A and B are shown apart, each in its own frame.
Chain A
């Protein structure tokens, strides 16, 4: 072997040893492994206690809630249930840009998966518990379009409902007397429903609102059980934490690894999409252009005011919580420029099933999403927190490939995925 050939062979070996080839891409530093662990589903804690709902972990309540969740009778036209928009087969969302109930809903349907871990509900956080959230759409004229007196009457007239309600809560009060309990009455914007509600005696209103809040608590007991299962990403992290290189290679392509590096690195995604549910459950302005000039565009700025005034909030008369359990509500930020035009960070788990994206379904594909974050356009309302990422097309592709690894099965028994028998 001549000197030159020897030098070439020597350098080739050297390059093979130190060059960042595909096998090298599998290496994560201790700090990176710690970040991966924080995103791993194994880091998801036990379901947090919902002190505001004393039946949150009651299996009978969950069964009742499941029935209610799928029951279309609890709507103005008897055609809408919670499951109309939160379809189990579509990741408990609906696949539409904007939800469609009895009318056109100005928001994209968020998934229910893992929401038991969130302190805030709706895109603008105008509710502070799963049970209180469940009550919102039921009286919204464009969603279920019903009223609480109707709902109380449906429960009372149905033997099975009445029996299970009384087994879980207490006596279901008789609301059949129309002179005391009009068929349609609720403290909502609709003038007729409102007038009928205002004409009722305070004690009767309390009876109805108590039943209504219990409907929400039963639905929440069911919704709490809808939690995500391990995705391919979680299996990969397990392999990383176990130092199992072979399994890592089987599970993730170089593009997916590259995407994960961007996700926790210069893509800045992890700033808000953190923790095992890939969300900090907080509110951020990302500069999305609203579809209309609706007043709801102020996002959290309006949402936090609504939740403070809500009779069904943690501190309200229908909550089972002690004052000390209501930290999120008591210490909620009420003002500040960053609340304007800010909306809740959604989970990224199962996002392959929950397109389109964003609070008004503005972005129809994952490609559009990563492109949007890359450009970070100026906000039309408030100020965007984003900075342009300036990623290359290849990097955007890798990021997208990584995001697709977050799809996984739900940790939900099949029996909970459809109406109970």
Chain B
């Protein structure tokens, strides 16, 4: 039994050795070599000045809210967005329908909508300039001219002005 126990421990130790990431020292050595290459050109690895003040998030937040129906930031409106391209795929021009209601669920007609957005991790905006092209009535609006040009985390930001209230809402999309 003791021998079997030893083998099991050995097996786990071997597994750990095989599967564990390389030690930090080894990684530093690799990066050191990389940095040295830059030094030869007179540009140390840390001299990427453009990126030092970078405030862009480096990863998609955990539990990112990807709901298509939500209240606007100050809860002035309930907003639903539906893509007419389902599933939403990259590099395809398509349109969305936005359904706007007040918090009581009554349609908000004749609102002004301003659409923007982009990729928070990249710092760039939408690749097109979508806009409302048709008031479909009953609080529904057609947004044409949406095209996402890469996979990843996108935001679709809408400024809503009903004449009585002004509020913002942001929808998150994860495109594959």
Query: Taking the complex as formed, is B54 at the interface, i.e. its CB lies under 8 A from any CB of chain A?
Result: yes
Nearest chain-B residue to A20 (Cβ)? B18
CA separation between A327 and B50, bound complex, in Å?
Answer: 35
Which of A99-107, A250-258, A373-381, A399-407 is the contact stretch? A373-381
A330 and B18 contacting across the interface, CB-CB below 8 Å: no
Interface SS of B by simple majority = mixed
CB under 8 Å from chain B, chain A span 361-408? 375-379, 383-385, 387-388, 390-393
B128 and A375 contacting across the interface, CB-CB below 8 Å: no
Nearest chain-A residue to B89 (Cβ)? A38
B18 and A19 contacting across the interface, CB-CB below 8 Å: yes
> Which size class do A's interface residues fall under?
35 or more
A residues less than 8 Å from B51 (CB atoms): 376, 378, 387-388
Interface SS of A by simple majority = loop
A residues less than 8 Å from B147 (CB atoms): 328, 331
A271 and B123 contacting across the interface, CB-CB below 8 Å: no
Query: Taking the complex as formed, is B73 at the interface, i.e. its CB lies under 8 A from any CB of chain A?
Result: no
> Which size class do B's interface residues fall under?
35 or more
CB under 8 Å from chain A, chain B span 96-115? none
Query: Taking the complex as formed, is B88 at the interface, i.e. its CB lies under 8 A from any CB of chain A?
Result: no
Indicate whether A390 sits within 8 Å of B50 (C-beta atoms), given known contacts A274-B90, A328-B93, A385-B122: no
Query: Taking the complex as formed, is A7 at the interface, i.e. its CB lies under 8 A from any CB of chain B?
Result: yes
Indicate whether A275 sits within 8 Å of B19 (C-beta atoms), given known contacts A331-B128, A388-B48: no
CB under 8 Å from chain B, chain A span 1-43? 3, 7, 10-11, 14-15, 18-20, 31, 34
Complex A-B: 23 CB contacts under 8 Å: A7-B6, A18-B18, A34-B176, A271-B151, A272-B150, A275-B91, A280-B91, A282-B149, A327-B144, A328-B93, A332-B128, A333-B127, A333-B129, A334-B129, A338-B124, A376-B50, A377-B43, A378-B48, A378-B49, A383-B50, A383-B123, A388-B51, A392-B33
Partner-B contacts on A (CB < 8 A): 3, 7, 10-11, 14-15, 18-20, 31, 34, 270-272, 274-275, 280-283, 287, 327-328, 330-334, 336, 338, 375-379, 383-385, 387-388, 390-393
Beyond the given pairs A272-B150, A375-B38, A377-B50, 6 more chain A to chain B contacts, judged by CB atoms under 8 angstroms and listed by A's residue number, are: A7-B7, A15-B18, A34-B176, A271-B150, A331-B147, A393-B34
